[in-house]
């Protein structure tokens, strides 16, 4: 991720050429004043002018080429870095995303890398070029008058020291600015994304307050740097005055003593500009450079985060799996000292449906998160076909995994693109077949644009049930061996409900499914129900067994539905079987609402 070396070298040569050419004009002043005018050597005027014109041309061409070369190289680098950072961020673990705001990450990828432009492009040119002209100017000045140069150097070094200190102070402030910016942008992204909730709870004013607070912090930070840069400006003005006065004093005395020519003095004052100007430039671009370095440091920080598949233990390459899932005394905590799973053990045989039920916060999502290999158990193992998931090459596993979450994640693309997201290389026929199975066809084909209908950001233009069907179609198309399902808790109209159930039963067929179940129909159809509480499995068995046991499952169930419903739904209660039966949900069958076993009790 460095600029191409050859190009940089060429850039440096060009800087040198352009700066040296730029010094021809001031250097020639001495000959103009002392020789052409002072000694009436008019024959020297022509060559002198020619030299100046030629030097100007060389300077113009070389600085043009330089800007072209370096600014384009800088932009190429920015593009390359953005690409690399994005790829890297994509490989980081879910835990990293939990700990970092989306907006801040966007910032790292898009804005922080821009610093390269200042480093490689204009900033570098100014800096190196300035140093170069300064040193050439210094050599020439020494030849003209060592005494004046000594005085000048003394003041300039003092100034440089002040500058160096100031930069040291500014740098952490710039670093902080990037952080504040990321946080403010992050919150903004969230509140814009959650506009319905914000408006729904009439929280616009509160969000505005939060944002205003962030903006104020940003302002305070910028104010600090502005003061520092103004102080530097002040110091440089003072420096110029002091140096000017000193040079006038020493120069006048030297001329009067015959130690210095008038031309020498003029040339010296012009060269002085070349020595001091880079320092001023460093003041202005120095802040840019400091900001750029701070941004690049943040970028480097992200790049140093270890990707989730970097673990050296991840060596096992999975072939096509059967989907035999075993949890072997799994313990897990997100934060040290706060265990979330306290020894979870169960087996899900290939092709079976396992329903997780229990109050919210019990650890159900955490159990499925471990199956998705989003996290690694702190103790115990999750085995798939006998292989510890912590040792598996993630790409060989995740391609065989399907995830359908409550919050369906749709892009602002067409229905077809959203379905094909899971398998971009699928043929149109395959996509269509998946849409049929998930009953997406039923609504998509009624739209004027059919499958090409654009769904809007996060799928806002579709109904909740339609979004779910799209995400089911996506999973059908992926054809995973293991399926993780987080059933929606929201109630849907009975028709959508029935269509979703139908899609889901197609989807689950022949796959090992672990479902965070909210719906009675799903729970009753599951091969095993695991009742999760406080990070443990407190009961397991199928609906009939658990019901007869009259334990936690029964208790939770009766709390939710009352004794009547309970009797009504109790298995084998004479002819009073519930509406639902083994023939499974079909479109014309009344659907069942969510069974909120998840709600916290009390
Ligand atoms: P459920 O799915 O049963 O509602 P979860 O698995 O989501 O339960 O949560 C179990 C516990 O873990 C809760 O106490 C929750 O606060 C905690 N938890 C969940 N996700 C995180 C996270 N990313 N960081 C820290 N704690 C978490």
pLDDT tier, 572 (very low <50, low <70, confident <90, very high otherwise)? very low
Question: In degrees, to the nearest 5, what angle opens at C-alpha 293 toward C-alphas 291 and 297?
Answer: 120
Tell me the CB-side half-sphere exposure of residue 174, using CA atoms within 13 A: 24
Burial of 46 (0-12, 13-18, 19+ CB in 10 A): exposed
- Cα 419 to its chain centre, rounded Å, is 25
What is residue 576's predicted lDDT score, i.e. its pLDDT? 37
Nearest to 497 by CA among 472, 516, 528: 472
Q: Mean pLDDT for the chain?
A: 83
pLDDT value for 299: 85
Q: Determine the atom of ligand 1 nearest the C-alpha atom of 335.
A: 25
Give residue-wise pLDDT tens across range 105-160.
887 788 888 877 777 766 777 777 888 888 888 898 899 889 889 988 888 888 87
d(CA 13, CA 19): 10
Structure tokens at 40: 């009436």
Residue 409 pLDDT class (50, 70, 90 cuts): confident
Among all chains, which residue has been given the structure tokens 């199956």? 371
pLDDT at 286: 67
Q: Using CA atoms, how far apart are residues 348 and 364, in angstroms rounded to an integer?
A: 15
Q: How many CA atoms lie within 13 A of 595 on its CB side?
A: 27
**Predicted local confidence at residue 106, as pLDDT:** 81
Tokens 């003593």, located at residue: 257
What is the CA(361)–ligand 1 centre distance, in A?
6
Q: Are 123 and 288 in contact (CB under 8 A)?
A: yes
Q: Is the CB of 334 under 6 A from ligand 1?
A: yes
Determine if ligand 1 sits within 6 Å of the CB of residue 340: yes
Work out the percent of the chain whose per-residue pLDDT is above 70.
Answer: 90
- Does residue 368's CB lie within 6 angstroms of at least one atom of ligand 1? no
Q: What is the pLDDT of residues 426-474, one digit of tens each?
A: 999 999 999 998 888 888 889 998 899 888 877 778 888 888 889 889 9
pLDDT computed for residue 179 by the predictor: 81
Q: Which of 366, 485, 601 to mutate to test the pocket of ligand 1 (most atoms within 8 A of CB)?
A: 366
pTM above 0.75, yes or no: no
Given the candidates 1.10.760.10, 1.20.1560.10, 1.10.10.10, 3.40.50.300, the CATH classification of the domain at 5-304 is: 1.20.1560.10
Decide whether any atom of ligand 1 lies within 6 Å of the 93 Cβ.
Answer: no
Position 167 pLDDT exceeds 80: no
Cβ–ligand 1 contact at 366 (below 6 Å): yes
Q: Give CA–CA dist 417/411, Å, rounded.
A: 8
């Amino acid at each position: 991720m460095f600029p191409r070396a050859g190009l940089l070298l060429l850039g440096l040569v060009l800087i040198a050429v352009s700066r040296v050419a730029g010094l021809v004009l001031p250097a020639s002043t001495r000959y103009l004043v002392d020789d052409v005018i002072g000694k009436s050597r008019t024959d020297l005027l022509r060559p002198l002018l020619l030299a100046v014109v030629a030097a100007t041309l060389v300077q113009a061409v070389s600085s043009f080429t330089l800007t072209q070369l370096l600014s384009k190289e800088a932009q190429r680098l920015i593009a390359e870095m953005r690409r690399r950072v994005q790829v890297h961020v994509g490989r980081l673990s879910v835990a990293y995303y939990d700990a970092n705001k989306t907006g801040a990450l966007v910032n790292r990828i898009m804005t922080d890398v821009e610093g390269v432009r200042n480093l490689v492009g204009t900033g570098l040119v100014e800096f190196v070029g300035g140093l170069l002209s300064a040193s050439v100017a210094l050599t020439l000045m020494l030849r003209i008058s060592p005494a004046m140069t000594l005085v000048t150097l003394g003041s300039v070094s003092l100034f440089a020291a002040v500058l160096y200190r100031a930069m040291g102070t500014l740098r952490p402030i710039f670093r902080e600015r990037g952080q504040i910016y990321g946080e403010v942008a992050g919150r903004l992204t969230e509140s814009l994304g959650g506009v319905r909730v914000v408006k729904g709870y009439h929280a616009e004013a509160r969000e505005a307050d939060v944002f205003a607070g962030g903006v104020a912090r940003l302002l305070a930070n910028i104010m600090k740097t502005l003061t520092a840069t103004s102080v530097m400006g002040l110091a440089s003005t003072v420096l110029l005055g002091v140096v000017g006065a000193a040079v006038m004093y020493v120069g006048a005395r030297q001329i009067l003593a015959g130690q210095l020519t008038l031309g020498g003095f003029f040339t010296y004052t012009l060269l002085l500009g070349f020595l001091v100007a880079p320092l001023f430039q460093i003041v202005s671009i120095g802040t840019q450079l400091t900001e750029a370095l701070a941004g690049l440091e943040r970028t480097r920080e992200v790049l140093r985060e270890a990707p989730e598949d970097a673990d050296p233990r991840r060596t096992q390459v999975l072939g096509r799996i059967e989907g035999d899932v075993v949890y072997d005394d799994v313990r897990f905590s997100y934060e040290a000292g706060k265990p979330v799973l306290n020894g979870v053990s169960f087996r899900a045989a290939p092709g079976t449906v396992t329903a997780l039920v229990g109050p919210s916060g019990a650890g159900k999502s955490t159990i499925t998160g471990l199956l998705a290999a989003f996290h690694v158990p702190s103790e115990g193992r999750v085995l798939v076909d006998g292989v510890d998931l912590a040792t598996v090459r993630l790409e060989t596993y995740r391609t065989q995994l399907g995830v359908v979450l409550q919050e369906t994640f749709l892009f602002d693309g067409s229905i077809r693109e959203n379905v094909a997201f899971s398998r971009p290389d699928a043929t149109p026929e395959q996509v269509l077949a998946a849409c049929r199975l998930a009953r997406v066809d039923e609504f998509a084909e009624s739209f004027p644009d059919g499958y090409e209908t654009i769904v809007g950001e996060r799928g806002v233009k579709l109904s909740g049930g339609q979004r779910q069907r799209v995400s089911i179609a996506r999973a059908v198309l992926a054809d995973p061996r293991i399926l993780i399902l987080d059933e929606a808790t929201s109630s849907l109209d009975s028709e959508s409900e029935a269509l979703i159930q139908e899609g889901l039963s197609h989807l689950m067929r022949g796959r090992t499914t672990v479902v965070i179940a909210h719906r009675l129909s799903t729970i009753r159809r599951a091969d095993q129900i695991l009742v999760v509480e406080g990070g443990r499995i407190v009961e397991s068995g199928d609906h009939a067994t658990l019901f007869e046991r009259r334990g936690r499952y029964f208790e939770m169930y009766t709390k939710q539905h009352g004794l009547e419903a309970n009797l009504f739904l109790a298995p084998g209660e004479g002819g009073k079987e519930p509406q639902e039966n083994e023939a499974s949900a079909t479109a014309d069958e009344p659907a069942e609402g969510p069974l909120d076993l998840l709600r916290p009790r009390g």
